[in-house]
Structure 1
Amino acid sequence: MSHDAAEPLISVALCTYNGELYLREQLESLLAQTYSNMEVVAVDDGSTDRTIELLREYERRDARLRVFVNTRNLGFVRNFERAISLCQGGLIAPCDQDDVWLHQKLRTLANCIGEHSMAYCDSELIDAQGRGLGVSMSRFWAMRDLNDPAELVLSNCVSGHAMLFRRELLDGRPLPTDVFHDWWLAMRAAARDGVAYCPQQLVRYRQHGNNVTNILRTHRKRMRRIPGSRMKHFDDLARRLSYLAGVGDSYSPFFAEFHRLWVNSESVWFAPRLALFMWQHRRRLYPLRNKGQLSALRKSLSHVFGLRLRRLFKPTKYARVAAFV
């Protein structure tokens, strides 16, 4: 297929593992993209179903698809990292095996990214059978352009399936295994040349198995009842802040102070300085929640209580559980 010489090459990094059920529909949507100067790099992580057979079938049909199979299971993060290393384009679009992309997705995001480090779009949620659920990702998040990593430190609206980013964002560094890779990439992009938001729904984001969209909120409530879940949240944020504090850019002092106050709150009864810090920086820390100032005040004030006090009332929730360590 011919393409405009001015169009930069976009690499779609498709990671697969036992995905035969929905893979054919996704491959059809990828190879039907209106952006012609693209490649699809599929890396399989040791599937035992017909996933590899399907990939080879499409590889024979379309030279834009290159298929690689790991000799051993690497796990999701390292598999995605390998897929990126095999990509030849300067722009990279992560891809899940069970979604469906609208045909204009890559072209729209390529037009949207401009001089930014990343662009992302909205997504329509569908069920296992591909039926629309009448809700989009933007219902849950106040999606917007992002130019400050602090806006993403507490919550993330940039999903991997919806993003297009510049290869140099990684700087050749390995992806952290204890932070969601899409979250990490979005924070790094916001700290560099920013993240551009495209409000169009360009992905049909499939929900199946235990991840049923219409019970997302109840799922979160159920997670909070699991022993050790609150401590996992505490440790996850501590890791994100530690990474960001160590990047060495103009945002590092902010994250270093936030990290110090956050970690210190584990060993004290009360943490008023942490609560004050979060309230003072509420516009940076709470911009993605579809809630008002009252919610930000309530969230900030909740951190007045240190973990020593919280453990008196909820010892199981604030215990470090082996499954989460």
Structure 2
Amino acid sequence: MTPRIFIIMAVFQPEPEYLAAQIQSLVAQTHTDCHLVAVIADTCSKDLVLETAMAVAPGLPLTMVSGDVALDSVRAFEAGLSEALRLIDAEGLGEDAALIALCDQDDIWHADRLERGVAALVKSGADLVHSDARLVGPDGTTVLHRSMFAFERRKKNPGLRGLLYRNNITGMTTLMRPRLVRLALPFPPQSGVHFYHDLWLGLLAAATGGVHLIDTPLVDYRQHQSNVMGAIDRTQPRGPRWKRPDAMWMRKEATAYALARYLGQSTYNRLSDAVTDGSLSHGEAKTAPLRPYLRRMRGMGTHLRDAVVLGLQGHAGLARIAAGFAVVSIGRAVWTLREAFGPGLKSAIDGFDTRLYSLSPGMSPRPPRNLTAPAKPPVKHESIVDLRKEPRFVPEFSAPHAALNILVPTLNPTEIFAGIATALDIGLGLAVRGYPVRFIATDLPMSSPGTTQLFLGRLGQGQDREATAARISLLCGVQNETLPLHSGDMFMATAWWSAHVAERLIRRHEMAQTRFLYLIQDYEPHFYAWGPEFADAMASYHFDFEPVFNTTLLRDWFSEQGFGFATGDVLAFHPSIDIERYSHVARRAAGKGPRRLALYGRPDVPRNMYATAIEALARFVSKENLGPEDIELVSIGQHHSDVALPGGHILRSLGKLPWEDYPDYLGTVDVGLSLMYSPHPSHPPLEMAAAGVRVVTNGFGPKDLSRLSPAILSVPATAPDLADALGLAWHAAPVSQSEREIDLRDLGSHPEDMIDDLANRLATQLARI
């Protein structure tokens, strides 16, 4: 039987000419039983895809998948694969009657791409086949290189563990069986894009039915400036292959090792789940190559052996990666043993003995007089002084034009939360409006500049993306001793210590712009006890700057505290929350199982008042006499230990939910508890209320979020008051749609309007490009 092939294409702001050429190449396939599933990842290209398909492929069956939220490439293919399985099941196609292929929007398939893929699947019995690709220029005809495998020096048969050193599977060359897709969905969560769908599919295929390479190009891979991932030339030496290990080198290697370990463990866990639910039989999965990533203290020997073998085979780049994994694995074991048996052990024993002797006779034995303690070296002052306030780089005034330098602690997507994301959005908005912007990481080195660039690719739709991207620079003030700046640059501080950095750079180097912008998102002195950090945070408010406040509530708090810069004419914007993303979420039908209460639980952030929230929950479930059959308690925001509460309840910690899944999950929550003991309104209470959750939060100074929606109950931040408010929320009627439509303008101007105002203010200080 000739299988029907479902072709998954992710579409994001396509070049119409490229899209038409690709769809035409699908129509020209010698395997003719095809069905195109186009995922509209940018939410707005549906008409273009439909018009193009009607023009060049009127007979090609087409299903389009679109939504209200833009998707990155991984999420787009995940949505397309889910739709393909739905179509296969709806048409009653058996496992051998349907196959699935992945397709990019701007490449060109050779006419026999699918026919040869089907033949290879049948002959090899593999679950996934992939091929080589020919690299072509933007015109689609100029051949840049005959083989992507040769161009990138890929290992043709790396095996399961080898895929975790470097992926050799390109998604748009793949053809796979539906059973592999059923096993692969859903994809493991990730913050940003750190691994691609083709690697995840390849790992599962290599561990189960196998991967087969068609060692000839079956696709023309079009190289152009808008490629999400372009081919990397590894035919020429790229600088020194070996570098003396240092802290920065270790962090970079650790980043790659962490991803490999995460995927290795995720692969093993998914296969274990499949055996448990019966979709895989015992012994069907081959997981032995994953052992170095599964063992808690071993595995470095395997990586070292791999490094030697790969080096002897002529794969020097892969050998370096394997050696780096071995070094990180060894460092992990050494660090663990040092923590377990090092100074901590002596301190623990001494501490126990001190308490023991306090029982009787009340003091510790005196040491012998002839005991001479070894001389300790003096402590370096750098280990005592807070170096975050000091620039780690020296400006090298070689930049061709002045720019706005936005100082952020980190540019690594996994370390970016709401505060840093807001600063990045402001910088991206100014770049869209024509201003050159440099993002400078001041605290942590960039682990992967490419991943950061993809994360920052959230530029507004309909804009000139290439021109905007050209105005943005990513600089690391940790790894580089000098940075290319301009004497006319302006700085934006985003935390109190970066305000000190901006102030010192301006004064030390006599910058032309003597004032800096200060993005104030909370009252930071209250993050600390009275001491150096409290004093340094307070000192930052006495520099010469122009404030930009995140909400009028925060601005009013500063004004009430007597800060003269918090006047009514300074910029203040409301939280950057897409209310419609939450207010349109479908609610779970009532009466199906216990009702769900979600806590925004972050034990490591004092102002989120985790202990108070736990006490309030204990009071609430006891007072209401609720049992596990009545209520399910979950904690979101940060992983922590599950908590046993009265009545046999267990508060289950779900940790940080994927951003894409968060709104739909809130649609299953009935009551929320989210605390923030500061003048800044945190996002979760507003997001919960917009999603139809009756949410309890606390007031603080001028902050009273209940004025924004009746779905929000704002009470004093004490356990009794919070428990009583939870009782009111529990017995209240479901949140109405009108209560979910929250108007944030009461908290300040729209972020885009604020950026417009900021751009106008910068017009006299920075030149647009």
Aligned match for 2:211, one of 170, 178, 195:
195
1:240-286 Cα distance to aligned partner (Å, 9 max, x none): 1211332236544552443335xx5xxxxxxxx64422244569x85
State the partner residue of 1:175: 187
CA distance in 2, matches of 1:175, 1:192: 17
Aligned-partner SS, 1:291 = coil
Q: Which moved more, 1:53-62 or 1:188-197?
A: 53-62
- The residue type paired with residue 123 of structure 1 is A
Contact residue 127 and residue 208 of structure 1 kept, 8 A: yes
State the partner residue of 1:204: 220
Contact residue 9 and residue 105 of structure 2 kept, 8 A: yes
State the partner residue of 2:78: 81
Contact residue 143 and residue 157 of structure 1 kept, 8 A: yes
- The residue type paired with residue 158 of structure 1 is I
CA distance in 1, matches of 2:42, 2:121: 34
Q: Note if 1:124 corresponds to 2:134.
A: yes
State the partner residue of 1:142: 155
Q: How does 1:1-325 map to 2 (within 5 A)?
A: 6-21=1-16, 22-48=18-44, 51-60=45-54, 61-87=58-84, 88-89=87-88, 90-114=98-122, 115-130=125-140, 131-139=142-150, 140-144=153-157, 148-171=159-182, 173-178=185-190, 179-209=195-225, 213=231, 215=233, 229-246=252-269, 247-248=271-272, 250-252=285-287, 254-260=289-295, 274-280=299-305, 286=310, 291=314, 296=319, 299-300=322-323, 303-304=326-327, 306-307=330-331, 322-325=412-415
CA distance in 1, matches of 2:224, 2:317: 34
CA distance in 1, matches of 2:295, 2:300: 13
- The residue type paired with residue 15 of structure 1 is A
CA distance in 2, matches of 1:161, 1:290: 28
How far residue 185 of structure 1 moved from its aligned partner, in angstroms, is 0.5
CA distance in 2, matches of 1:295, 1:43: 34
Contact residue 253 and residue 324 of structure 2 kept, 8 A: no
Judged with a 3 Å threshold, the aligned counterparts in structure 2 of structure 1 residues 119 and 243 are, in CA distance, closer, same or farther, namely same
RMSD over aligned Cα atoms:
3.8
CA distance in 1, matches of 2:174, 2:10: 15
Judged with a 3 Å threshold, the aligned counterparts in structure 2 of structure 1 residues 143 and 239 are, in CA distance, closer, same or farther, namely same
Contact residue 232 and residue 324 of structure 1 kept, 8 A: no
Q: Which moved more, 1:65-74 or 1:160-169?
A: 65-74
How far residue 17 of structure 1 moved from its aligned partner, in angstroms, is 0.8
CA distance in 1, matches of 2:21, 2:292: 47
Larger RCO, structure (CA 8 Å, separation 6 or more): 1
1:29-66 Cα distance to aligned partner (Å, 9 max, x none): 11111101111111112354xx4333112443224223
1:129-151 Cα distance to aligned partner (Å, 9 max, x none): 2221024122021324x7x4223
Q: TM-score w.r.t. structure 2 length?
A: 0.35
- The residue type paired with residue 34 of structure 1 is T
CA distance in 2, matches of 1:238, 1:320: 23
Q: Which moved more, 1:241-250 or 1:151-160?
A: 241-250
1:146-174 Cα distance to aligned partner (Å, 9 max, x none): 7x422322111111011101111133530
Aligned-partner SS, 1:258 = helix
Judged with a 3 Å threshold, the aligned counterparts in structure 2 of structure 1 residues 297 and 38 are, in CA distance, closer, same or farther, namely closer
Q: TM-score w.r.t. structure 1 length?
A: 0.76
How far residue 19 of structure 1 moved from its aligned partner, in angstroms, is 0.8
Aligned-partner SS, 2:138 = coil
CA distance in 2, matches of 1:171, 1:66: 20
- The residue type paired with residue 141 of structure 1 is R
CA distance in 2, matches of 1:28, 1:307: 53
Q: Which moved more, 1:65-74 or 1:224-233?
A: 224-233
How far residue 93 of structure 1 moved from its aligned partner, in angstroms, is 0.4
Judged with a 3 Å threshold, the aligned counterparts in structure 2 of structure 1 residues 188 and 53 are, in CA distance, closer, same or farther, namely same
CA distance in 1, matches of 2:233, 2:289: 36
How far residue 23 of structure 1 moved from its aligned partner, in angstroms, is 0.8
Which ranges of structure 2 fall in alignment gaps of 5 or more residues?
89-97, 273-282, 336-391, 393-408, 416-769
CA distance in 1, matches of 2:42, 2:35: 22
How far residue 290 of structure 1 moved from its aligned partner, in angstroms, is 6.3
Judged with a 3 Å threshold, the aligned counterparts in structure 2 of structure 1 residues 26 and 227 are, in CA distance, closer, same or farther, namely farther
Contact residue 154 and residue 286 of structure 1 kept, 8 A: no
CA distance in 1, matches of 2:28, 2:38: 16
CA distance in 1, matches of 2:19, 2:237: 26
CA distance in 2, matches of 1:324, 1:14: 28
Aligned-partner SS, 1:71 = coil
CA distance in 2, matches of 1:75, 1:298: 27
Contact residue 36 and residue 60 of structure 2 kept, 8 A: no
Contact residue 292 and residue 300 of structure 2 kept, 8 A: no
How far residue 11 of structure 1 moved from its aligned partner, in angstroms, is 0.6
1:113-139 Cα distance to aligned partner (Å, 9 max, x none): 112101111100112222210241220
Contact residue 151 and residue 286 of structure 1 kept, 8 A: no
Judged with a 3 Å threshold, the aligned counterparts in structure 2 of structure 1 residues 214 and 304 are, in CA distance, closer, same or farther, namely closer
Identical-residue share of aligned pairs (%)? 23
State the partner residue of 2:522: none
CA distance in 2, matches of 1:43, 1:295: 34
How far residue 201 of structure 1 moved from its aligned partner, in angstroms, is 0.7
How far residue 186 of structure 1 moved from its aligned partner, in angstroms, is 0.8
CA distance in 1, matches of 2:42, 2:260: 32
Judged with a 3 Å threshold, the aligned counterparts in structure 2 of structure 1 residues 234 and 28 are, in CA distance, closer, same or farther, namely same
Aligned-partner SS, 2:169 = coil
CA distance in 1, matches of 2:258, 2:126: 31
Aligned-partner SS, 2:166 = coil
CA distance in 2, matches of 1:29, 1:232: 39
Q: How many residues align?
A: 296
CA distance in 1, matches of 2:182, 2:321: 38
